[in-house]
């Protein structure tokens, strides 16, 4: 199973929006509505930010939103804040009780 | 509150073995698939293995198949990963994670495995 493709980096100024893409295939992202997004700060465990493409767990700010079109899922962070600077990873169900992660995107708040 | 606590990480020589444990609490452990995910220093996340609720179905990434064994003890709310024939490229933080529809939702804090002579 090949990793999902994410841009290595993305950036924005405080208050702006940034969108991260996650491209897979019809066997993973395009085939199921089971895409998740994680935020990881240095030295910390990943934290679930979005699940089932668009849903936010309790406690995650509504500045974080997810979407999907075809084989590409996206995470948008609106109203960027300094604490949003982190690495972000997508993951998708890929059938047969397997999942696959994205390559990761480092978000910098300028 | 869902809690996952890994232990067992250590410095081990190439070719050696290690057993990682994950203690789960705050949810009905026996009703969830569970995962091990690893992250090499400065690298991205890599799914390693998962196991079904009963411990019968197990899946592994190709690079560890035949060397690592995932198991669970539902009576003890615990997940395990037996690592054997360890290589330098297995050096990573190993995370225990609860799974829902192929994706982790809750993660432990991780345990570091270093393979070096």
Separation CA B38–CA B49 (nearest Å)? 10
- State the pLDDT at residue A37: 98
Name which of A52, A55, A65 is nearest A93 in CA terms.
Answer: A52
pLDDT in tens, A33-48: 999 999 999 999 999 9
Percent of chain B with pLDDT over 90: 95
- Chain A residues close to B104, C-beta within 8 Å: 36, 38, 46, 48, 91, 99
- Chain B residues close to A47, C-beta within 8 Å: 107
Between chains, do B57 and A99 touch, taking CB under 8 Å as contact? no
CB of B90 within 8 A of CB of B115? yes
Name which of A63, A70, A73 is nearest A18 in CA terms.
Answer: A63
Check whether B60 has a pLDDT greater than 80.
yes
- State the pLDDT at residue A98: 81
* Other Cβ atoms closer than 10 A to A48: 21
- State the pLDDT at residue B104: 93
CB of B67 within 8 A of CB of B84? yes
Separation CA A45–CA A20 (nearest Å)? 20
pLDDT in tens, B2-50: 999 999 999 999 999 999 999 999 999 999 999 999 999 999 999 999 9
* Closest Cβ opposite residue B59 in set A36, A51, A98: A98
Name which of A103, A82, A88, A75 is nearest A6 in CA terms.
Answer: A103
Separation CA B70–CA B58 (nearest Å)? 7
Between chains, do B107 and A102 touch, taking CB under 8 Å as contact? no
């Amino acid at each position: 199973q090949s990793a999902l493709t994410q841009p290595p980096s993305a950036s924005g100024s405080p208050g702006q929006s940034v969108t991260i893409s996650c491209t897979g295939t019809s066997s993973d992202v395009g085939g199921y509505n089971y895409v998740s997004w994680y935020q990881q700060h240095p030295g910390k465990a990943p934290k679930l930010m979005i699940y089932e493409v668009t849903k936010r767990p309790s406690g995650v700010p509504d500045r974080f939103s997810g979407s999907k079109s075809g084989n590409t899922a996206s995470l948008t962070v609106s109203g960027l804040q300094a604490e949003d600077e982190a690495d972000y990873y997508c993951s998708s169900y890929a059938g047969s009780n397997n999942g696959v992660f994205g390559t990761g995107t480092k978000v910098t708040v300028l | 509150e869902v809690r996952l606590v890994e232990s067992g990480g250590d410095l081990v020589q190439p070719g050696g073995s290690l057993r990682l444990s994950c203690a789960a609490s705050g949810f009905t452990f026996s009703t969830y698939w569970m995962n091990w995910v690893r992250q090499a220093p400065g690298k991205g996340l890599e799914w390693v293995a998962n196991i079904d609720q009963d411990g019968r179905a197990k899946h592994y990434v190709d690079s560890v198949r035949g060397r690592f064994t995932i198991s669970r003890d539902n009576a003890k709310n615990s997940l395990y990963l037996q690592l054997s024939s360890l290589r330098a490229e297995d050096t990573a933080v190993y995370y225990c994670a609860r799974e829902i529809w192929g994706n982790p939702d809750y993660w432990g804090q991780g345990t570091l495995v270093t393979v070096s002579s």
